[in-house]
Amino acid sequence: MAGSIALRTKRASAYRPIASTGESLLTRTILITIALATLALFLVLPLVLIFTEALKQGLGAYFAAFTTPDARSAIRLTLITALIAVPLNTVFGVAAAWAIARFEFKGKSILITLIDLPFTVSPVIAGLLFVILFGTRGWLGPWLQEHDIRIIFAVPGIIIATLFVTFPFVARELIPLMQAQGSEEELAALTLGASGFQTFWRVTLPNIKWGLIYGIILTNARAMGEFGAVSVVSGHIRGQTNTMPLHIEVLYNDYQTSASFAVASLLAFLAVLTLVVKSIVEWKNARSHAQAAREAEQGDHQ
């Protein structure tokens, strides 16, 4: 069971609205109104509020919120975390997708379940897992203390927790994509004398490019925005172990609402950017599908 939302190739829906099976204008209007009202209330309004609150005290105050030492430190830590977690999880995602989508082996469904685990486990429990392993009273705690290594309440813990929470996204985007594409093109490349690496680089990668890009962007957004798991392992040490979401929490609880929303607006912008990339990718996919269909049809007529 996937908790991720894979890219969809938008089909021209087979559904044709016709009188015999359509709803009355009144029903249609009511349903559209409910749908739009729900989305406005739950999604659009909060988004508008974030930017409104962030700019409430003027542009000066808005930019000042990013230049405090605590804010700078939080932004730096978030960037470092993402810089480590995103490439590692990308490599993992590609490797896992290659193994799962291109080969048959026993225990495949167990492997997929394991990859989906972070979707079903509470982020707080994800944090708990690492506290039990590395915390002062955890399994490795005494040994780590002896060697003066800090993981929990320090940067390594934050990075590990982020890795855990975000590792499925790339794999989850790529697996259905690669399964749908099949391996014929890769086998053709091999018969033409390409090496395994050349095949991957010249055949596989161009085919999964857009799905991969979306997976990476999504991993990045989630890595920068993770709150629950990071809360547990961070220890909230200002200027040291606070990421951007934790900094938002600190500011908010200190009644520095505008500053808090200013930092939040950066993450909200990142989220909107992620959606834009997703739309572009889906649009590109739909276009290439439509083109392929057109070419196939023309081929038929010749």
Partner 1 sequence: MSIEVRNISKTFGSFKALDNVSLTVKAGELVALLGPSGSGKTTLLRIIAGLEQADPGSGEILLNDEDVADRHVSARGVGFVFQHYALFRHMSVFENVAFGLRVKRRRERPSKAFIRQKVHDLLKLVQLDGLAGRYPHQLSGGQRQRVALARALAVEPRVLLLDEPFGALDAKVRKELRSWLRRLHDELHITSVFVTHDQDEALEVADQVVVMNRGKIEQVGTPDEVFHQPATEFVMHFLGDVNTFHGRVNQGMVQFSELELPFPENRQQIVGDARVFVRPYDVTIDTKTNGLPALEAKVVRVHSAGPLVRVELLTKANQYLTSEISQERFATMNIRPESTVYVRPRHIRVFAGREG
Partner 2 sequence: MLPGFGLSMGFTLLYLAFLVLIPLGGLVLYTSTRITWGEFWSRAVTDPRVVAAYKLSFGASLIAAVLNGVLGLIIAWVLVRYEFWGKRLVDAIVDLPFALPTAVSGIALTTLYARTGWIGRLFDPLGIQIAYAYPGIVLALVLIGLPFVVRTVQPALEDLEQDMEEAASALGATRWQTFYRVILPNIMPSLLTGFSLAFARAWGEFGSIYFIAGNMPFKTEITPLLILIRLEQFDYVGATAIGVVMLVAAFFLLLLINLLQWWSRRHQAS
Residues within the interface to partner 1 (CB under 8 A): 18-21
Specify the residue, 30 or 295, whose C-beta has the smaller distance to partner 2: 30
* Integer angstrom CA distances of residue 68 from 64, 72, 239, 246, 294: 7, 6, 10, 15, 56
Of residues 93 through 132, those in contact with partner 2 by CB under 8 A are: 94-96, 98-99, 102-103, 105, 111, 114-115, 117, 119-125, 127-132
Of residues 163 through 182, those in contact with partner 2 by CB under 8 A are: 163-164, 167
* Integer angstrom CA distances of residue 13 from 122, 130, 293: 36, 46, 15
Residues ≥6 apart with Cβ < 8 Å to 75: 66, 244, 266
Euclidean distance between CA atoms 39 and 46, whole angstroms: 10
Specify the residue, 105 or 296, whose C-beta has the smaller distance to partner 2: 105
Q: Which partner, partner 2, partner 1, none, binds residue 269 by CB below 5 to 8 Å per kind?
A: none
Least distance (Å) from partner 2 to the CB of residue 186?
6
CB atoms within 10 A of CB 269: 13
Residues ≥6 apart with Cβ < 8 Å to 260: 248, 251, 252
Q: Which of 138, 150, 239, 240 binds partner 2 (CB under 8 A)?
A: 138
Q: Number of residues in contact with partner 2, rule: CB under 8 A?
A: 105
Specify the residue, 19 or 26, whose C-beta has the smaller distance to partner 1: 19
Q: Which partner, partner 2, partner 1, none, binds residue 111 by CB below 5 to 8 Å per kind?
A: partner 2
Find the farthest-apart pair of alpha carbons in the chain and give their distance in angstroms, rounded.
Answer: 77
The three-state secondary structure class of 135 is coil
Least distance (Å) from partner 2 to the CB of residue 243?
10
Q: Which partner, partner 2, partner 1, none, binds residue 291 by CB below 5 to 8 Å per kind?
A: none
Of residues 266 through 295, those in contact with partner 2 by CB under 8 A are: 267-268, 270-272, 274-276, 278-279
By rule CB under 8 A, what string of x and - marks binding of each residue 58-87 to partner 2? ------------------------------
Q: Which partner, partner 1, partner 2, none, binds residue 115 by CB below 5 to 8 Å per kind?
A: partner 2
Residue 252's nearest CA partner among 242, 122, 241 is 242
Specify the residue, 20 or 67, whose C-beta has the smaller distance to partner 1: 20
Least distance (Å) from partner 2 to the CB of residue 111?
7
Q: Which of 157, 211, 215, 225 binds partner 2 (CB under 8 A)?
A: 225
Look up residue 256 and give its two tokens.
């520095």
Q: Which of 173, 186, 210, 281 binds partner 2 (CB under 8 A)?
A: 186
* Sole residue written with tokens 């509470």: 122
Least distance (Å) from partner 1 to the CB of residue 20?
4
Residue 220 burial (10 A CB sphere; 0-12, 13-18, 19+): buried
By rule CB under 8 A, what string of x and - marks binding of each residue 233-272 to partner 2? ------------xx-xx--x----x--xx--x--xx-xxx
Which amino acid, residue 223?
A
Euclidean distance between CA atoms 243 and 261, whole angstroms: 15
The angle subtended at Cα 202 by Cα 196 and Cα 208, nearest 5°, is 100
Look up residue 134 and give its two tokens.
């590395």
